[in-house]
Structure 1
Amino acid sequence: MRELSGKVAVVTGAASGIGRALALRFAAEGMTLMLADVDPGGLAETALLAGDTKVLTQITDVSDEESVLHLADSAFGELGAVHLLCNNAGVFQGGHLWTRTREDLVWVLGVNLWGVLHGVNAFVPRMIEQDTEGHIVNTVSVAGLFAAPWAGGYAVSKYAALAASQALAHDLIVSGSKLRVTALCPGAVRTRINHSERVRPLDLALAPDALPAGSDDLAAQERIDAAVGEGMDPAEVAGMVVDAVREQRFLLLTHPEYEKSLRLQTETLLSGGLPGLRA
């Protein structure tokens, strides 16, 4: 889909970070926007920053199927079509895999995996029915390619999101659809993902005394704080996404060094070894 001007984009997780950067870049490209998030203040700020572009906003919990279906109904009902869907909402929960509680995993998988699946199920059938060019961008993560310590639950959600993206891309091709897919795998980016707890639902929250003895949450938090602080500007990522959509590129890596790491990991796995930590 080379021409973006005059088309409609839907972006979840649009209140900050990569989602906000995507929204502003799409606005600059002349697109109409439907923006969604659970943060009403941040969502309103993004809409304001988009300037004169037509922008609709809707509070949406992507982990909830009905909420996403309502978003799709609003987008198609009020804007008439959707050409670019960005399943971008995501949260981070650190810690060793064996210390993660059911509540941790339900929350992370609900947003990072089910958010993608709900977006696909709510939007893609109607996008196919439009019979126009279109694109789906799923924000995965480099954690969907390289599993690392202190982020087991997050990696599980992101590996699954990558698998969903790849399966979707193949399904669209074999069905003869004009839609294409990009799996965005960013590394460190200056977002607010290191403060994901701010949007954690109360029904999945844990009291401090419910954390496992010797909890590793602090170590995980320090690691992601450092990574985010040194990360890439989200606007740069948004520019890469626009290029990937125009080029119909499936896998989008934000950092060139990941290509070498991915090749090395594949070679190590084929030899039966455990891949080392990504540099």
Structure 2
Amino acid sequence: MRELSGKVAVVTGAGGGIGRALALGLAAEGMTLMLADVDPSALAETASLVEGVKTLTEVTDVSDPVAVEHLADRTFGELGAVHVLCNNAGVFQGGRIWTREPEDFAWLLGVNLWGVLHGIRAFVPRMIDQDTEGHIVNTVSVAGLFAAPVAGGYSVSKYAAFAASQSLAQDLAMAGSRLRVTALCPGGVRTGINRSERVRPENLRTAGRTEDETASREIIDGLLERGIDPAEVARVAVEAIREERFLVFTHPGYAEGLREQTEALLSGALPRFPVHE
């Protein structure tokens, strides 16, 4: 999909971090925007930063299929089409997999996996019916390819999001669709995902932070502090749309890590988690 100017893009999780960077990057390409986030004030702040293109906003909890369907209805109703869909909303919680409560998995899977699935179901059939070029970008994370220690629930949700992305791409190819898919797999990025608890629903909150969760929080805090600018993630995402690339890393070290992991698995060994470079 070479030409983006004058087309329509939808970005979930647009209130900050990678979502905000995607919104600004796509606006710079001349795309009309529908921005969604569960946080109304953060969403409004992102919209205020966009210049030169028509921008709509919709407060949306992507874990709610009715809310995502409403987002799609409004987008197609008011903007007439969708050419780029960025299923970007995501949340993080650390901790060993055996210490996570059912509510933890429900929250992580609700946003990180079901948010992608709801976006696919609400938007993709209508995008197919447009019979135009189009692209779906799912923000997966390298944790969707490399199961990270002390982040079991997050890794489970992101592995599933990667599988959903690959299945979508295969289904579209088999159907002869003009739509393409990118599984965007960032490493450390300077975002606020380590503060995801601020948007956690009350009914999915647990009693308190476990010791291993606190340790994981310290690790992720350091990783994000040393991370790349979200604008760089948006740049590679736009490039992937133009080049119709499926798998996209933000750190070159992960490509070698994927080769090492494959070799380790084929030999029956436990892969190491790669260090990003």
The bucket for the TM-score relative to the shorter chain is over 0.9
Where does residue 58 of structure 2 map in the other structure? 58
1:256: which partner in 2?
252
C-alpha RMSD of matched pairs (Å): 0.8
TM-superposed deviation, 1:52 = 2.7
Structure 1: any 5+ residue segments left out of the alignment?
none
Q: Which residue is equivalent to 1:87?
A: 87
Number of the residue aligned with 2:128: 128
Write the distance in 2 (CA, Å) between the matches of 1:166 and 1:255: 20
Aligned to 1:4: 4
Instruction: Tell me how far apart the structure 1 counterparts of residues 134 and 166 of structure 2 sit (CA, whole Å).
Output: 16
Sequence identity percentage: 71
**Which of 247, 266, 270 is residue 270 of structure 1 equivalent to?**
266
Q: CA separation in 2, counterparts of 1:10 and 1:26?
A: 10
Aligned partners of 1:197, 1:52: CA distance in 2, in Å? 33
What secondary structure, in the 3-state scheme, does the structure 2 residue paired with 1:216 have? helix
Structure 2 counterpart of 1:240, one-letter code: V
1:71 alignment partner in structure 2: 71
SS at match of 1:182: strand
**1:148 shift after superposition:** 1.5
> CA deviation digits over 1:95-124, x for unaligned, max 9?
000000000000000000000000000000
The residue that corresponds to 2:214 in the other structure is 218
Q: What displacement does 1:276 show?
A: 1.6
Give CA deviations for 1:62-105 in whole Å, capped at 9, x if unaligned.
Answer: 00000000000000000000000000000001000000000000
Q: Does the CA contact (< 8 Å) of 2:17 and 2:192 recur in 1?
A: yes
Q: In 1, Cα distance between the equivalents of 2:139 and 2:162?
A: 9
Aligned to 1:40: 40
Q: Which runs of 5+ in 2 are unaligned?
A: none
Give the SS at the match of 2:4.
coil
Residue 193 of structure 1 corresponds to 193
Alpha-carbon distance in 1 for matches of 2:97, 2:205: 18
Runs of 4+ with deviation above 2 angstroms: none
Question: SS at the partner of 2:172?
Answer: helix
Alignment TM-score, normalising by the size of structure 2:
0.98
